[in-house]
Amino acid sequence: MTDADIATDTSAGNSADASADIDIEALRQRALTTLTTARDRTTLLTSCVDEPELTAQVSPLMSPLVWDLAHIGNQEELWLLRAVGGRDAMRPDIDGLYDAFEHPRSERPSLPLLPPEEARQYAAEVRGRVTDVLESHAFRGTRLTDMGFAFGMVAQHEQQHDETMLITHQLRTGPEALTAPDPEPVPLFTGPSEVLVPGGPFTMGTSTEPWALDNERPAHRREVAPFYIDTTPVTNGAYLAFIEDGGYDDPRWWTKEGWAHLRRNSLTAPEFWRREAGQWLRRRFGVTEAVPLNEPVVHVCWYEADAYARWAGRRLPTEAEWEKAARHDPTADRSMRYPWGDADPAPEHANLGQRHLRPAPAGSYPAGESPLGVRQLIGDVWEWTSSDFLPYPGFRAFPYKEYSEVFFGPEYKVLRGGSFAVDEVACRGTFRNWDYPIRRQIFSGFRTARSGAV
């Protein structure tokens, strides 16, 4: 995601007490569990390499891992200790160092950052004090505190940084530092290649998901014409056919800006691919392997996804089309939280949470398919859409404009659905991601669509 790190604006605004009937202890446990899950992952990502790698910058697109580590602690202090708990500042002297909007990533290695051990101790001390706040928190009173929103926001923030740290691990050179089991093998998917999504209105966005972020709100009706959408994400094998047909050498398939970007950067294949001795190989977290043809393609930019879709005689789905395919139940005429229903994700539904370090084969997770039979809409790879990142009707920035509002506009394209690197707390049917159309280091893939008959 574009670096939507939490700024230091603690304005919250009042809200009605919508949490009068909630189970406080269950909500307290959920907040603790999600915070703990995020911190365990942060620890894994920052303990598997030595100190020089923690402080190094592997790419100007990414922060040193040690910056992310202290930034996570600093944002937790700002929001959960100061804004929610009313506690005095622990380290006001470092607020500026870890303000993502004050210091772009390219500058962060030159800052006087906390060294790794001090960063770990700081984050741990913040978490210990947050646990004390959580034990007495009432989960009501303001919009920031209702239903534990601030705790969910901070857990999502940490998981988003965990994903960016995993990207840093993918960009680093040297032997593998992370391991995880592969997804379960599945038979080659032989179902229909596309699914018809009927036209008509549906409810897009949410006004009820308690931890949804501001750009997901409010729920509103959206009219969508009938369209066909790929049953699974586009695979490496399908994308390879585009390459071998000269897709990177033919300007017919590219937008003017995309063709200029391709030529300027000498793009010939997805990021981390190379051709050697007549075989396509890729580098994945320090391991070089043959490109698996049945996996969803990953590490392609929007321009590449758009060009492939044009070559295939199709197009990228709009954001509204993607969400209707993922959430709308035509039988009940309602929008669900996830393609499979309203239940939280389980391992049989989707490839999430860094449980694996790669996408699952196309056609996996039949238990997670939508009512119309579309698969892998959640997890595996972020999916580029054709849409610019824009506010919904009635949008209100909360609790600070720097999370979403400053990014609205045609410079950014929307991605949906999450990836294998996304935790479930930061992934749902309404969750919106966005990035520049040139980005390839992110875990991005796509599926295509075409307009249907009326």
**pLDDT tens figures, 374-385:** 999 999 999 999
Examine the pLDDT at 328 and tell me if it is beyond 90: yes
Strand segments, DSSP code E, in 111-230 are: 194-197, 200-204, 220-224, 227-230
- With pLDDT > 70 as the criterion, what percentage of the chain qualifies? 95
How many alpha carbons fall within 13 Å on the CB side of residue 415? 33
pLDDT confidence band for 366 (50 / 70 / 90): very high
Residue among 286, 290, 292, 266 at smallest CA distance from 277: 290
Residues 6+ apart with CB under 8 A from 401: 9
Examine the pLDDT at 365 and tell me if it is beyond 70: yes
Examine the pLDDT at 18 and tell me if it is beyond 70: no
pLDDT confidence band for 454 (50 / 70 / 90): low
Strand segments, DSSP code E, in 243-300 are: 273-276, 279-284, 287-290
**pLDDT tens figures, 276-303:** 999 999 999 999 999 999 999 999 999 9
226 by DSSP, 3-state: which? coil
d(CA 364, CA 85) in angstroms, rounded, equals: 44
349, 340 contact by CB (below 8 A)? yes
Whole-number mean pLDDT of the chain?
Answer: 94
Bridge partners (DSSP) listed for residue 229: 195, 449
Burial state string for 161-183 with b = 16 or more CB within 10 A and e = fewer than 16: bbbbbbbbbbbbeeeeeeeeeeb
**pLDDT tens figures, 167-191:** 999 999 989 999 999 999 999 999 9
d(CA 444, CA 199) in angstroms, rounded, equals: 27
- With pLDDT > 90 as the criterion, what percentage of the chain qualifies? 92
pLDDT for 8 equals 26
**pLDDT tens figures, 88-131:** 999 999 999 999 999 999 999 999 999 999 999 999 999 999 99
**pLDDT tens figures, 196-210:** 999 999 999 999 999
CA distances to 55, 87, 112, 123, 158 from 93, in Å: 20, 16, 11, 15, 21
For residue 251, give both structure tokens.
């300007």
d(CA 206, CA 336) in angstroms, rounded, equals: 10
pLDDT for 81 equals 97
Examine the pLDDT at 6 and tell me if it is beyond 90: no
Residue among 311, 445, 302, 301 at smallest CA distance from 376: 445
pLDDT confidence band for 141 (50 / 70 / 90): confident
* pLDDT, mean of residues 314-326: 98
**pLDDT tens figures, 246-283:** 999 999 999 999 999 999 999 999 999 999 999 999 99
- Residue 123: is it exposed, middle or buried by C-beta count within 10 angstroms (0-12/13-18/19+)? buried
Strand segments, DSSP code E, in 318-358 are: 328-329, 334-335
pLDDT for 149 equals 97
Examine the pLDDT at 13 and tell me if it is beyond 50: no
Residues 6+ apart with CB under 8 A from 189: 231, 232, 294, 361, 362, 363, 375
For residue 249, give both structure tokens.
């050498």
129, 78 contact by CB (below 8 A)? no
Bridge partners (DSSP) listed for residue 283: 288
pLDDT for 412 equals 98
Examine the pLDDT at 358 and tell me if it is beyond 80: yes
pLDDT for 21 equals 67
* pLDDT, mean of residues 317-342: 97
How many Å separate Cα 50 from the centre of its chain?
A: 27
* pLDDT, mean of residues 365-380: 98
* pLDDT, mean of residues 344-369: 98
pLDDT for 140 equals 87
